[in-house]
């Protein structure tokens, strides 16, 4: 209960904290005391998640009594990844195993439910050979939720079921099921009626797969007649209007080249399918929702974030826009409403705000501060993250994030931090603990969204196909040289660092550009491309025959099949080109990028007697435990600072 007493103090007391001039390293990398928060339908309680040890746990708290009513833990490395209130007394939790700080994709998740007092805890869905997706919470039915269940033997086809949140009993709903021959996913409206199906037509390879959209009119399913300008159009459901007469989608079907996901509406009454908005640079796939689940607008993750509202008359829309004005310059998301729409919890964040939760009265706009994710960090101590645009050598525009110390903008030591993936993830504006830590120590950090990154459309992502160590690496190089041209840094004070694919790009960078970087930190990286392609015993190489088939098709398209070409861009086969100092970090329990990559690189370096520093801890794909994070960043900073920072200057002066 000691933990919960401290949590209560953090929520209901705003106490001042005296900071030394330099923020202690640990404060950047501590676990978040609050990760997510949802208010109950009746507004009496909140459920919230928090990090502790290797877990993400959930607790329920009474707003009136200001006390913790219950808490839920699921064991070592088990995380409550998502949750919602099934009714006023019961919370539904999605729980999965996360084995490292960078391990956050594709994990099986199980559904649990429990009463707010901790009683009647029950696993209600076990994800083994079956998966699920929430379709609708079924407001008015306190016992069931609507889910789409898919089984490996069905090839991924979704079957519509009611799930009892008390017993886990499943009821197949034949009346809601489309009769299509190929695997598909379904979309339900705000009343819980399945109205849209997106059909997946498999081709001979990844480039010949097709998606087709169907809509339901009464009891009849009709295929939408859309002239696609693409071989492989994408469709993603966003939601429905308040009256359920209009469905909203994200799609790129109308763009032959430079495709980006735009927002479309389909009117069930008139059959009109029209483009509402498309950004000139980024995808738009995220909806903004009212208290009944209706779509009010969309969000574009561009620069510091942009929003487009479809209506300014709806009460929820007016409320959300008013909250955004109240926190101008920050990003606002309404995480949950009460069932009557009178109260809501707003999540506010920015580059200098790791995240805060506020309870709002919708009618009066009165707000009450509830909690901060990392309460020791204060905005006035942190640095600004700037969205910048860089032009690659072939003219391609690249988005990047630049973080510099508060008191100096030029002539800085620079860390080029390459994100993982590489296909799909991207760096965006917001609080970044690494960038903020290095800024507090006098460093600039540049994060480049190279070709292959997400959020810029499928064509941009596909530009990275088979470009490991080639054009994707050139983008990182061009971004680094841009920083030199801008006077942010100079050629003698640059280090490259990254995790996962970023670890690969670090080693590829110091090999391909041996005179550009003074040092490199490879973190849980892929280093042997031939072994990676053949199957390196990672979790991606496991699973059933259908999963392995899809993975092989993806690897063939995005990584390649030519062993000689892969060997040419493998860090383990190019160590003789390195001039930079190296620091290699890996988790001994990593299943995403097995530690065999680390050992193969060590063997290659040892063979030519090339020196390096190393750190291995019993972690997974990225260090999650706080003590290990502190150890990592202490050693990493000392390593980098001795090469390009203040320690390096002292060493030079002494010589």
SS (H, E, C) 99-146: CCCCCCCCCCEEEEEEECCCCCCEEEECCCCEEEEEEECCCCCCCEEE
Average pLDDT over every residue of 181-209: 80
Write the pLDDT tens digit of every residue in 472-494: 999 999 999 999 999 999 999 99
Does any domain span residue 133?
no
Range of the domain at 464: 383-646
Interstrand relation of 494-499 and 519-523 (parallel, antiparallel or unpaired): parallel
Average pLDDT over every residue of 300-319: 93
Confidence of residue 208 (pLDDT cuts 50, 70, 90): low
Res. 251: pLDDT tops 80: yes
Average pLDDT over every residue of 487-507: 98
Could you tell me which of 191, 279, 270, 200 has the C-alpha nearest to residue 235? 200
Which of these ranges, 177-186, 438-447, 565-574, has the smallest mean pLDDT? Answer: 177-186
Res. 426: pLDDT tops 80: yes
Write the pLDDT tens digit of every residue in 566-580: 999 999 999 999 999
pLDDT at 542: 52
Does any domain span residue 608?
yes
Number of domains in the chain: 1
Concatenating the DSSP letter of every residue in 28-39 gives HHSPPS-SEEEE
Could you tell me which of 403, 424, 400, 421 has the C-alpha nearest to residue 481? 400
Confidence of residue 465 (pLDDT cuts 50, 70, 90): very high
Confidence of residue 448 (pLDDT cuts 50, 70, 90): very high
- Please give the Cα distance from 262 to 503 (Å, whole number): 33
| C-alpha distance from residue 117 to each of 41, 72, 90, 120, 517 (Å) | 16, 11, 9, 9, 56
Res. 230: pLDDT tops 90: no
Q: Under a CB-based contact definition with an 8 Å cutoff, are residues 633 and 25 in contact?
A: yes
pLDDT at 284: 96
Q: Under a CB-based contact definition with an 8 Å cutoff, are residues 624 and 54 in contact?
A: yes
> Any residues with CB less than 8 A from the CB of 172 and at least 6 apart, and which?
159, 160, 161
pLDDT at 543: 56
Higher pLDDT, 91 or 154: 91
Higher pLDDT, 31 or 554: 31
Average pLDDT over every residue of 417-429: 97
Average pLDDT over every residue of 196-217: 76
Res. 331: pLDDT tops 50: yes
Res. 104: pLDDT tops 80: no
Does any domain span residue 66?
no
Confidence of residue 204 (pLDDT cuts 50, 70, 90): low
Does any domain span residue 310?
no
Does any domain span residue 172?
no
Q: Report the percentage of the chain scoring pLDDT > 90.
A: 79
Higher pLDDT, 635 or 4: 635
Res. 181: pLDDT tops 80: no
Res. 333: pLDDT tops 90: yes
Res. 5: pLDDT tops 70: no
Res. 2: pLDDT tops 60: no
Q: Under a CB-based contact definition with an 8 Å cutoff, are residues 113 and 510 in contact?
A: no
Average pLDDT over every residue of 166-176: 94
pLDDT at 3: 39
Q: Is the pTM of this model over 0.85?
A: yes
Does any domain span residue 321?
no
pLDDT at 155: 66
- Burial class for 364, CB neighbours closer than 10 Å (0-12, 13-18, 19+): exposed
pLDDT at 202: 64
pLDDT at 417: 99
Res. 18: pLDDT tops 60: no
Q: Under a CB-based contact definition with an 8 Å cutoff, are residues 479 and 448 in contact?
A: yes
Write the pLDDT tens digit of every residue in 118-159: 999 999 999 877 788 999 999 889 999 999 998 766 667 889
pLDDT at 646: 79
Confidence of residue 553 (pLDDT cuts 50, 70, 90): confident
Does any domain span residue 174?
no
Write the pLDDT tens digit of every residue in 356-367: 999 999 999 999
pLDDT at 179: 80
Confidence of residue 421 (pLDDT cuts 50, 70, 90): very high
pLDDT at 8: 41
Average pLDDT over every residue of 29-43: 98
> Any residues with CB less than 8 A from the CB of 560 and at least 6 apart, and which?
466, 468, 533, 566
Res. 466: pLDDT tops 80: yes
Encode burial over 494-520: b for 16+ CB neighbours within 10 A, e otherwise. bbbbbbbbbbbbbbbbbbbbeebbbbb
Please report, for the domain that includes residue 446, its CATH number.
Answer: 3.40.50.1820
Res. 368: pLDDT tops 70: yes
């Amino acid at each position: 209960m000691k933990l919960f007493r401290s949590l209560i103090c953090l929520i209901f007391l705003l106490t001042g904290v005296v900071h030394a001039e330099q923020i202690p390293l640990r404060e950047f990398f501590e676990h978040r005391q609050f990760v997510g928060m949802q208010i109950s339908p009746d507004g009496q309680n909140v459920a919230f998640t928090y990090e502790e040890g290797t877990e993400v746990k959930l607790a329920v708290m009474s707003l009136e009594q200001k006390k913790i009513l219950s808490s839920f833990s699921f064991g070592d490395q088990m995380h409550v990844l998502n949750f919602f209130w099934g009714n006023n007394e019961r919370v539904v939790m999605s729980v999965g195993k996360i084995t490292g700080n960078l391990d956050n994709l594709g994990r099986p998740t199980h559904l649990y439910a429990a009463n707010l007092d901790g009683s009647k805890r029950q696993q209600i869905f076990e994800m083994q050979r079956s998966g699920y997706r929430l379709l609708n919470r079924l407001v008015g039915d306190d016992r069931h939720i609507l889910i789409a269940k898919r089984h490996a033997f069905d090839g991924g086809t979704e079957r519509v079921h009611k799930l009892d949140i008390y017993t886990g009993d499943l009821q197949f709903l034949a009346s809601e099921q489309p009769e299509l021959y190929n695997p598909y996913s379904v979309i339900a409206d705000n009343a819980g009626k399945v109205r849209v199906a997106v059909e997946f037509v498999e081709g001979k390879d990844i480039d010949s797969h097709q998606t087709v959209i169907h809509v339901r009119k009464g009891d009849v399913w009709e295929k939408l007649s859309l002239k696609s300008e693409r071989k492989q159009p994408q469709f993603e459901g966003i939601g429905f209007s308040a009256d359920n007469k209009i469905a909203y989608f994200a799609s790129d079907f109308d763009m032959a080249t430079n495709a980006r996901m735009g927002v479309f509406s389909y009117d069930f009454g008139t059959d009109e399918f029209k483009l509402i908005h498309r950004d000139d640079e980024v995808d738009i796939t995220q909806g903004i929702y009212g208290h009944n689940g209706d779509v009010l607008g969309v969000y574009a993750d561009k620069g510091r974030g942009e929003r487009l509202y479809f209506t300014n008359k709806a009460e929820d829309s007016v409320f959300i826009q008013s909250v955004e004005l109240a926190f101008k310059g920050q990003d606002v998301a309404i995480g949950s409403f009460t069932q009557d729409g009178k109260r809501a919890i707003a999540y506010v964040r920015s580059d200098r705000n790791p995240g805060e939760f506020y309870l709002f009265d919708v009618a009066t706009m009165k707000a009450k501060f509830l909690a901060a994710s990392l309460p020791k960090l204060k905005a006035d101590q942190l640095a600004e993250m700037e969205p910048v645009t860089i032009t690659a050598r072939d003219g391609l525009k690249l988005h990047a994030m630049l973080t510099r110390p508060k008191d100096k903008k030029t002539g800085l030591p620079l860390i080029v931090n390459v994100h993982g993936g590489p296909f799909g993830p991207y760096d965006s504006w917001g609080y970044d603990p690494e960038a903020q830590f290095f800024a507090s120590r006098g460093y600039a950090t540049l994060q480049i969204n190279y070709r292959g990154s997400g959020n810029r459309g499928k064509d941009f992502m596909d530009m990275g196909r088979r470009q490991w160590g080639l054009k994707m690496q050139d983008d990182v190089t061009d971004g680094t040289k841009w920083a030199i041209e801008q006077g942010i840094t100079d050629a003698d004070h640059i280090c490259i660092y990254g995790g996962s694919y970023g670890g690969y790009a670090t080693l590829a960078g110091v090999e391909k550009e041996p005179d550009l970087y003074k040092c490199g930190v490879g973190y849980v990286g892929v280093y042997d491309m031939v072994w990676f392609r053949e199957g390196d015993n990672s979790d991606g190489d496991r699973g059933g025959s259908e999963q392995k088939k899809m993975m092989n098709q993806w690897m063939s398209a995005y990584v390649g099949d030519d062993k000689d070409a892969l060997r040419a861009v493998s860090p383990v086969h190019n160590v003789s080109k390195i001039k930079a100092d190296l620091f290699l970090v890996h988790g001994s329990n990593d299943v995403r990028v097995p530690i065999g990559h680390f050992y193969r690189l060590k063997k290659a370096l040892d063979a030519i007697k090339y020196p390096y520093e190393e750190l291995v801890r019993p972690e997974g794909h990225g260090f999650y435990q706080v003590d290990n994070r502190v150890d990592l960043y202490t050693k990493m900073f000392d390593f980098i600072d001795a090469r390009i920072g203040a320690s390096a200057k002292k060493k030079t002066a002494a010589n």
